Chains A and B, each alone.
Chain A
Amino acid sequence: MTTELRTLLGDTVTRLFTDLCTKELIESAEKGAWPEKLWRALEEGGLTLPLLSEARGGAGGVWRDAHVVVRAAGRHAAPVPLAETIVASGLLAGAGLDVPLGPLTLAPVHRDERLTLARVSGAWRMRGTASRVPWGGAAGHVVIVADADGRTMVALAAREAARVIPDRNLALEPRDTLVFDDAPVLAAAPAAAGIGAGAVTLHGALVRAAQMAGALDSLLEQSVRYATERRQFGRPIGNFQAIQHQLAVLAGHAAAASIAAERAFAAAEAGDPTFEVAVAKVRAGEAAGIAAAIAHQVHGAIGFTYEHSLHFATRRLWSWRAEFGSESYWAEELGRRVTSRGADRLWPDLTAR
């Protein structure tokens, strides 16, 4: 997709979220309602499968197109597993499997959890427990990365195949436990080359970084707007240097997270993006903590209420920064990489990417 088309895609998806992803919709989703209308609009708009070829029913795009969609979903706090569906469909397609319609999720999302795929009288069966699965109870299908006979497999199971124990994150997004007890599998195939057991963590971190970049944009925009509208001591609080400088810091973090995330998507297009994903998850995670604190400070007490919309972004940031590997996990991963290469390789490696 050309840059121009990508800008067009950004406009389309922004319009859709602005129209449909209202405060009321997010609130009802937080009470447990599935936003079917929003999901259908995304699906009909061809926005749920940007990575799939047109022959497979997708938009024939690349990771940088997916970035536009995922970032916008984060910007608008869209309460649907859009990012998860995009990653899951990519894994399925990479393994040569057909992608079903409807919302998809991924399992296991925890690095130390494993699901086992085994052949039982000629048919694949899934066994094991996966916790904190995004929209585990609401997704139509689960895409599982599991080891079988010493190789990494991608498997597709109907959500009904698993027992669901509901749970949620700080943003009240479903994070359910799925229990597979020799559950039937609809399809399974060896994963694409280069896709290992860490693929879910890696791609999960990639999309969360872009969602965080989107949410940080929302924080900046809401905070700047509030600072120009709210008046104290006879003038907008944004006239005070103390507020201006805090918002400048917020802008710096938002911009840094944004380019780090976009860079990671570009790297995913070119090959193994582990380095760039680690960079993006660390940078966006750090930005999330600082920016959320500033946004709340600028908003004062009103921003601390459920009635105000600020928390849709801040609660997501607080959860997302820790999902698919926190800053400490990815920073250590990066630290191990660069130290194993040696100090004198740091600059050449950095500039070679």
Chain B
Amino acid sequence: MATFHFDLTELPRETEALRVDVREFLRESLGDRAPQRRAPSWSGFDRAFSRRVGARGWIGMTWPKRYGGHERTFLERYIVLEEMLAAGAPVGAHWIADRQSGPLLLRFGTEAQRERFLPAVTRGELAFAIGMSEPDSGSDLASIRTRAVRADGGYVVNGTKVWTSGAHLADYAIALFRTAVVPDKKHEGLSQFLVDLKTPGVTIRPIIDLAGEHHFNEVVFQDAFVPEDMRVGGEGDGWKQVTTELAFERSGPERYLSSFALVTELLREVARRPTDRGLAAVGRLVAHLATLRQMSLSVAGMLQASANPNLEAALVKDVGTGFEQEIPEIVHALLDLEPTIDTGTELQQTLGYLVQRAPSFSLRGGTREVLRGIIARGLGLR
């Protein structure tokens, strides 16, 4: 039986100065921003903020210097990520590129692609979206049907992507298309492409979420031309690459810190009027939080050691999203409080925001069911 092992990872003492720098930067940038405005965290999109983060050298931190990176460790990067998330910083304009699009290009992209895209990403000037799901393909990602057909100098793309977060704001998407139909072998014939979202034939339409917010989009391709040199990796290698990309996507601390603003506000309220029940509930949350942080740090340690943390990342995400989703429940169990949108206390508004966001935590980046399937495979059950 394969077992999951999370090695204890200690942050080196010399990284403390970096944490101090990040905190100082966040204090200056965010000021006394209200918790309900911090709650969106990595859904918040602010190009000016991302450019400032880039200027500090905190995007593409582990990448080679020749591509604008900073050749710092995964543990240093981890510190920057967790500080940004805990502060609820609007990191959305660089988050996807830093987390997965950039690493994907480093791993599978051509030299020209790396030179063209990565330096701009590290400056916080180039935002990426992810083109994976389609109307008939969600968890069964390999069943996608958007076709990229060979044409002179490149490919002509037809089809539709959905749930494309931030496509209306981003510059590029890395999308998975079908370049060949291999009967009964849906994992074959897939390829990844860099798509300029301003390409003629690409139409981006909003999909409004249940809270009335515009994060998602439908991205329709109608005879959209993608040049040959924008293919990432070999034709037909898309499945192997996209699973690697998903592992990058799942490896970070954003999978347990989404509701952190609510933890802080709940703690503030319990501290104001402590009861045994309230103290025990908050204590339990802190126990989970501290443990998830150690697990997440351990995944960063694996990345630093060039180990493959696919399984461990899936496990942390499964445990972490369960924790995030439980927090609004605990608030309801403890406090006689209505969640609100426009009025009420900061706690009420933060609750109102997260109650409505929480269902997405165990959907985005692979549903809970998909993750548990991955974990079960790791246990030797599949």
Contact = CB atoms under 8 A, between A and B. Distances in A.
Chain A contact residues: helix, strand, loop or mixed: helix
Interface in A196-248: 217, 220-221, 224-225, 227-228, 238-239, 241, 243-245, 247-248
B294 A224 contact: no
B341 interface: no
Contacts of B281: 331, 335
Contacts of A55: none
Contacts of A248: 315, 318, 371-373, 375-376, 379
Given A225-B1, A228-B381, A255-B4, A335 B286 contact: yes
Contacts of B284: 282, 286, 327, 331, 334-335
B235 to A, nearest CB: 34
A193 interface: no
Contacts of B274: 335-336, 339
B280 interface: yes
Nearest to A245: B372
Contacts of B381: 224, 227-228, 238-239, 243-244, 247
Interface string B254-282: 00000010011101101100101011111
Contact of A247 (B83, B265, B376): B376
Given A221-B1, A244-B382, A248-B318, A339 B270 contact: yes
Contacts of B6: 255, 258-259
A342 interface: yes
Contacts of A259: 6, 8, 291, 294-295, 298
Given A259-B8, A335-B278, A335-B282, A251 B268 contact: no
B283 A262 contact: no
Contacts of B265: 343
B140 to A, nearest CB: 14
B32 to A, nearest CB: 11
A340 B19 CA distance: 24
A346 interface: yes
Contact of B279 (A238, A260, A283, A339): A339
A249 interface: yes
A266 B287 contact: no
B287 A282 contact: yes
Interface in B208-242: none
Given A248-B376, A251-B375, A251-B379, A350 B295 contact: no
A292 B279 CA distance: 26
B279 A350 contact: no
Interface string B102-132: 0000000000000000000000000000000
Nearest to A254: B4
Given A339-B270, A343-B271, A334 B283 contact: yes
B271 A339 contact: yes
B86 interface: yes
Contact of A256 (B83, B295, B382): B295
A347 interface: yes
A328 interface: yes
Contacts of A221: 1, 3
B139 to A, nearest CB: 12
Interface string B1-44: 10110101010000000010000000000000000000000000
Nearest to B87: A347
B169 interface: no
Contact of A244 (B315, B318, B376): B376
A102 interface: no
A279 B290 contact: yes
Nearest to A260: B291
Contacts of B338: none
B271 A342 contact: yes
26 contacts: A225-B1, A244-B372, A245-B369, A247-B381, A248-B315, A251-B375, A252-B315, A252-B375, A255-B6, A255-B295, A258-B6, A260-B287, A278-B283, A279-B286, A282-B284, A283-B287, A283-B291, A332-B276, A332-B279, A334-B287, A335-B274, A335-B281, A338-B267, A343-B271, A346-B267, A351-B83
Given A256-B295, A266-B8, 10 more contacts: A224-B1, A238-B376, A243-B381, A251-B4, A259-B298, A335-B281, A336-B274, A339-B271, A346-B263, A351-B82
Q: Which 10 A-B pairs have the closest CB atoms?
A: A335-B279, A334-B283, A335-B283, A331-B283, A244-B376, A282-B287, A343-B268, A248-B375, A248-B372, A339-B271
